[in-house]
Chain A
């Protein structure tokens, strides 16, 4: 039980979750369920719904984390191959 919460495992879980978000395809999956990127929210930022926030977050992760994620994944793969 306690092993679940070691820092290494927590880090792995975080990386895997971010991977899971980043791997979502914009036009094959997100557009079909209506979660495609933002359509110009303008200045209505006062009362944004949870869904809009989630969509915003997903698109932000997809654009921002792509290149860092490639690096982190490569590092983890090499580490696991050598020492895991």
Chain B
């Protein structure tokens, strides 16, 4: 870069009368793509990051002459700084650092989050989502609540279940996640209509809702530990089921906003609460009350198993009615 400037000034002697730009000012701005002729001449300025790496290798093979050519038709400040060896090293280091960090994140994400298991929960279709929403809001007439096991071969089943796309009773993550986000946005929007909007409200609501879900999962896991229910593989199911209450909460908030009648507000709360509780009671039955663990034929063991089953049923009832009542009350009235 330093050896180009004397050559340029020698070609056109400097004028001393009034300030004249020393270099030809390019008509394009910094970000606009340069003409094709320059790009074909191997300027690193025009190339995309992927081409740049290849070109850097070429330039390193060619050595100094290519650097000299590079800044020829270009403003020296543009062509120069990319041809600078230090800048190239910096670019390469940046690219490799980005690549390494991305690989690191992917590795660790795979270690902590089971991607294939998560994908199963997002395998939904339009009709599934509509039917599921209808089921959460109006669960009273739904008849079979058992999930359909996935058939591996003819008459064979493994531990897996059909994805939500094919089975209405299967838990999914799509509806809970969407309802969660919608709840936060809706609440904030209604606060904005009333003139109480503050950006902090978004974070506050998200934190509260997330903490409630977390608390719920912790309580469920603690109950499972106390009642000797081993369902390590179904943690994601529990997360999904604890998110379905946001559908009801959205309904409650909407009705509360639209109506000024106190009775209607109360009624809507109790309707959505009871429908959600009924839905949870029926759906969680297969998680918390597994039939396979209690089919012991001996008498005394069966009595113990029956007592255990009773306790589990009580726990299920308390979870889906009492706990849900408290949480939905906090989330709607808070």
Contacts and interface: CB of A to CB of B under 8 A. Distances in A.
Interface string B173-217: 000000000000000000000000000000011011011101100
Given A47-B304, A47-B308, A2 B208 contact: yes
A53 B211 contact: no
Interface in A2-18: 2, 4-7, 10
A30 B311 CA distance: 25
Given A1-B333, A47-B228, A47-B304, 12 more contacts: A1-B334, A2-B204, A4-B330, A5-B208, A5-B330, A7-B207, A7-B211, A10-B214, A48-B228, A50-B226, A53-B226, A53-B228
Nearest to B304: A47
Contacts of B215: 5, 10
A54 B226 contact: yes
A53 B228 CA distance: 9
Contacts of B305: 47
Nearest to B204: A2
Q: Say whether chain A's binding surface is mostly helix, strand, loop, or mixed.
A: helix
B226 A5 contact: no
A36 to B, nearest CB: 19
Main secondary structure of the interface of B (DSSP, over half): helix
A57 B225 contact: yes
A6 B208 CA distance: 6
B225 to A, nearest CB: 7
Contacts of A10: 211, 214-215
A77 to B, nearest CB: 23
B318 interface: no
B227 interface: yes
A10 B208 CA distance: 10
Contacts of B334: 1-2
Interface in A45-72: 47-48, 50, 53-54, 57
Contacts of A53: 225-226, 228
B207 A5 contact: yes
Across the A-B interface, the 6 shortest Cβ-Cβ residue pairs: A1-B334, A2-B334, A5-B211, A5-B208, A2-B208, A50-B226
9 contacts: A1-B334, A2-B204, A5-B208, A5-B330, A6-B204, A7-B207, A10-B214, A47-B305, A57-B225
Contact of B311 (A2, A4, A48, A50): A50
Contacts of B210: 7
Contacts of B330: 1-2, 4-5
